[in-house]
A and B are shown apart, each in its own frame.
Chain A
Amino acid sequence: KAGVTQTPRYLIKTRGQQVTLSCSPISGHRSVSWYQQTPGQGLQFLFEYFSETQRNKGNFPGRFSGRQFSNSRSEMNVSTLELGDSALYLCASSLGAGGSREQYFGPGTRLTVT
């Protein structure tokens, strides 16, 4: 069974631009969560989607948004990029949502904002 895949793996953008990252979960998994990882803050939860609905959200500004498609693939979008948005963006999939569940992570997208 294929793991979680993320595209692209690396991205360089300029301040003020916007970016879209993609995540394909493990086949059969319906929940996708997104995280931002930086050296200073560590891993921080962005949002979680299940059945095309956002069911949970972290403490990030509205410039960060996401969506999930009927095939469970998810995208996250960051508008008006800032230098501080440079990070490794990780997505994780799980079978269901709510209650105890194991998360499986993708390799991440390394975003550099210049």
Chain B
Amino acid sequence: KQEVTQIPAALSVPEGENLVLNCSFTDSAIYNLQWFRQDPGKGLTSLLLIQSSQREQTSGRLNASLDKSSGRSTLYIAASQPGDSATYLCAAHMNRDDKIIFGKGTRLHILP
């Protein structure tokens, strides 16, 4: 069964710190890995999409990496700010059945 796991489920860090969110997937046959942000009660905002042939993508203070062989992706947030507080979800787009499988997210709280 294809699974996407995000650890930890919740994380609190002081403002200004750099942090890493983890995402692992059981099936390495993926088209891409996408990171999203979700604010409470809202939809998902796409942050970064890494194609299976890429190793990383960057946008501002965010950097996402992909290691298909180990089934892992990380989202690095530099110089965290209170506005970064949200739930971060990763989603793996599987080759096998063309479905997109989501992790359950990491709830991030940046302490002012």
- A-side residues, CB < 8 A to B, are 4, 6, 33, 35, 42-45, 55-56, 58, 88, 90, 92, 98-108, 110
Alpha-carbon separation in the docked complex, A55 to B97 (Å): 11
Q: Contact at B34–A103, with CB atoms within 8 Å? A: yes
Closest 3 CB pairs of A and B: A100-B31, A43-B102, A105-B44
Query: Complex Cα distance A66/B80, Å?
Result: 41
Chain B, Cβ-Cβ closest to A41: B104
Query: Which of chain B's residues has its CB closest to A110's CB?
Result: B41
| A22 shortest CB reach to chain B, Å | 15
Q: Interface of B with A (CB < 8 Å)?
A: 31-32, 34, 36, 41-46, 49, 51-52, 89, 91, 93, 97-105
Q: How far is the CA of A108 from the CA of B51 in the complex (A)?
A: 26
With A33-B100, A100-B93, A102-B34 already in contact, the answer to whether A42 and B45 are too (CB < 8 A) is: no
Given known A-B contacts A42-B102, A42-B105, A100 and B51 have beta carbons under 8 A apart: yes
Write the chain A residue with the least CB distance to B100. Answer: A45
**Shortest CB distance A54–B (Å):** 13
Interface pair A108/B46, CB less than 8 Å apart = no
Check B46 against A42 for contact (C-beta < 8 Å). no
How many Å lie between the Cα of A55 and that of B99 in the bound state? 10
Closest to B45 in A: A105
Cβ contacts under 8 Å, A35 to chain B? 102
Q: Given contacts A100-B31, A102-B49, A105-B36, are A90 and B99 in contact (CB under 8 A)?
A: no
